[in-house]
Amino acid sequence: MRTKFSIELMALTDELAHMARLTHEAAERASSALAGSDLTAAYEVFALEEQIQVEHAKCEDRSVILLALEAPVARDLRHVITAMQIADDLLAVSDALSRAADNVVRRYPEPVAPHQITDLLVEISGAAIDIVGTVVGVIAAQHPPRDRALVTRDERMDRLRAQVLELAGDPGWSHGSAMAIDLAMVVHHYGRLVDHSVRIGRLIRFFHTGIPLYAQVEV
C-alpha cells in the first residue's frame, strides 16, 4: 500500500513538472507574440493554456483521490496540499500569459504599442521567461536550498513595468486611451505572473521545511 502511495505522489510531482514546462513554453510564445505582433504565437499561448487546464484537472483529481482514500499524514499530507496550490498558481500564470497574448490578437495586424514601449514589453516578457524557468527548476529539484527564497521578485521587471505605466499615462501620450489601458493591463498581467511564481517558490520551501508562507523572509 505504501509503495502504491509513493508512486502516486511521484506521479503528482511529474504532472506539476509537466504543467510548469508547458507554462514556460507559453511564456516564450507570449514574448514572441508581443515582440512581433505574431498572431500564430498568440494562438499558441491559448492552446498551451488549454493543455495546462487539462493537466491542472489531472493534478486536482489525483490530489483529491489521495486525500480521500489514502489518508496521508504529516509530510505526505503537506506534499498533496502543496501540490494542489502550486497547480492553481501555475494555472493562474498561464491565464495571465493568455490575457497578455489576447492583446496581440485584438490589435492585429497593428502592433500592440509604439516601438519604444514594445521594446520594454519584450524586456518584461523576457524576464518573465526567466522567472518561469526558475519555477520549472525548483519544482523539479529534489533538494532545493532550505535557507533562502527559491523564486525571487525581479526588480528590473518592476522598474520596466513602472516605466510602461509612466509612458502610457504621460499627458503627452498621443496613441489613445484604449491603448494606454491595454498596456496597463498587460503589465498588470505580468505582475500577476511574478506574484504567483514567487508564491510557488514559497510553497515548495514550505513543503521541504515546514516554514509557513507568512514566516518566510525573502533573502
Instruction: Note the pLDDT of residue 75.
Output: 79
Confidence of residue 65 (pLDDT cuts 50, 70, 90): confident
Q: Is the pLDDT of residue 149 over 70?
A: yes
> How does pLDDT run across 173-190, given as a tens digit for each residue?
999 999 999 999 999 999
Can you give the pLDDT at residue 147?
86
As a whole number of angstroms, the distance between CA 219 and CA 48 comes to: 33
**DSSP sequence for 96-131:** HHHHHHHHHHHHTTS-SS-HHHHHHHHHHHHHHHHH
- The closest of 90, 84, 77 to 210, measured between CA atoms, is 77
Q: pLDDT band at 199, cuts 50/70/90?
A: very high
Question: Rounded to an integer, what distance in angstroms lies between the CA atom of residue 106 and that of residue 84?
Answer: 33
Per-residue pLDDT for 2 more than 70? no
Here the cell at position 106 is: 485584438
Neighbour count for residue 54 (Cβ, 10 Å):
11
Q: Report the alpha-carbon distance of residue 111 to residue 3 in Å, rounded.
A: 54
pLDDT in tens, 105-144: 999 999 999 999 999 999 999 999 999 999 999 999 988 9
How confident is the model at residue 210, as a pLDDT? Answer: 87
